[in-house]
Each structure stands twice: as C-alpha cells, then as structure tokens.
Amino acid sequence: METNKPTRKIGLARALSKLGYCSRSRAAELIRAGQVRLNGKLQRDPEAAVSEKHDRIEVNGKAVETRDKIYLMLNKPRGVVTTASDEKGRETVYTTLRGSSLPWVAPVGRLDKASEGLLLLTNDSEWGARIAAPETHLDKTYHVQVGTLVSEQDVQALALGVKGKNGEVLQVKYVRRLRVGQKNCWLEIVLDEGKNRQIRRMMESMEVEVLRLVRVAVGTVQLGDLAKGAHRSLTKAEKEMLDGEMLGSGPRGKTS
C-alpha cells in the first residue's frame, strides 16, 4: 500500500530564486516591501514555507512561473565588479548584458574588479551554488602575468604552498611557467578550492606584482576566443561536461 509522502517545502525567497525570478536577497527585499502574495495573501516573511508544486506566488499582481534554465559564459572585462549593483557606482557585469533580452541571471562565484576572463552566469541558483562550492573541487584555470621573471624555484615554492600574511597556507593544484619574456612572464595556475583573492595573496607574499589575471577555464569548459564583454550560452556538451565533473568530485570521490 502506497503512502503519500509529505510535500517538501522551502522558504519563499528561495522559491522565487529557484523559479529564476531574481536572486534570493532581492526576493527577500520584495517580500518585506509587500510586493509578494502567497496563495492570494500578502506575505512579508521571506522564510514562509512554500510548496513548489502546489502554492501560487505572485509579484506585483503577476503569477511567477518556472522559467527556462539559462547557462551562460561571459568574458568579464577588467574594471567591472560581479555584483548586481555597486554602492560606489562602479560598472558591474550587468552593464555588459544591457540591450539583451535575457531574464535575470546571477554570476557563479566572483572575479575581483581587476581580474578578467571566464565568468559563468545562470538563473539556476542551485546549479550555480554547486559550481562555486569549495567542496566541489572543480578546477579553475588562470593565466597570470607577473612583473618579474619567476624562476623554477619560485614555481616549486608555489606548488608546495605559500603562507599568506595572515598565516594561512595557500595552495594551488598545479602551476607552470607559460611564457617568459625579457622582464616579465606568464604563469598557468589551477585552483580547485579557490579562496578570496587567493592568487593575488600568494603573489603578494612572494613580493611579486600581478599585472594581469585571466580565468581561462572552469572545469574543462574553455573561454576560447570569446570577445571581451561578450557572452554566449553554454553548449549542451559544455553543460554536460560540468555536470559530469561535479558528480565525480567531492571527498573520496563521492558524488556531491
């Protein structure tokens, strides 16, 4: 005899984010501002329990329906920040999306203002969270131009781990010299558990100036020749590759 399983419920703000309507923080703002109704009743609690299958959510009188999932890559230019809005009035990654017919999408993780290159964006908040989670151990590959001629000894020191100024040991998964010029060189660095400004902090501890920092790959998905400031959808094969790489990651090879 079958028993009916209880319907799984989640918070209202999270439900709006999962539906692809907006970010969870923006959803909470809308709810507190009295712009959201749940089953016809005004709801001001972002954590109000919602059944994704059975409850009706409205924002400003319009029903919110599930939106198609969107997965994009953007070649983030240097000098823009990866936030929806900036209190200092700086340009954000959304500036590059102006004029497109895209619904709301959010950056997956961050690249700091001075960094550039591959940034994923999606309205699939749970997928984005898995990509960005440190425990997923998804490789992120960077090409880094530094203002000195880094020796093989320096490369080995980076490979073994560098102690940051706060005493934290910062480690890379892989590093090699990519190109060597007369006064500076490029390094290829792979991280699988990126910490805030990790590469810059490692170079600072070695008193090496970072001239450019470009993310060129997430997992096996490559930035390629996508122009600066341009974006495109991930191909089906790229999305499947990332999903497969995440399934194969996690402690002791367990799925995450």
Q: What domains does the chain contain, in order, with CATH numbers?
A: 9-63 (3.10.290.10), 71-136+221-248 (3.30.70.580), 140-218 (3.30.2350.10)
Residues 6+ apart with CB under 8 A from 40: 56, 58
pLDDT confidence of residue 97: 86
pLDDT confidence of residue 251: 39
pLDDT confidence of residue 54: 86
pLDDT confidence of residue 7: 66
Which regions of the chain are under pLDDT 50? Answer: 1-2, 250-256
The CA distance from 31 to 154, in Å, is 52
CB 45 within 8 Å of CB 90:
no
> What are the tens digits of pLDDT across the range 117-168?
999 999 998 899 899 888 888 999 999 999 999 999 999 999 999 887 778 8
Tell me how far CA of residue 250 lies from CA of 2, 55, 120, 135, 254, in angstroms. 35, 34, 21, 6, 5
DSSP code, position 98: T
Supply 2's token pair.
């079958």
42 burial level (CB within 10 Å; 0-12, 13-18, 19+): exposed
Dmax over CA atoms of the chain, in Å, equals 77
User: What one-letter code names the amino acid at 222?
Assistant: Q
pLDDT confidence of residue 102: 83
Cα 60 → chain centroid? 29
Which residues carry out catalysis?
112
pLDDT confidence of residue 256: 29
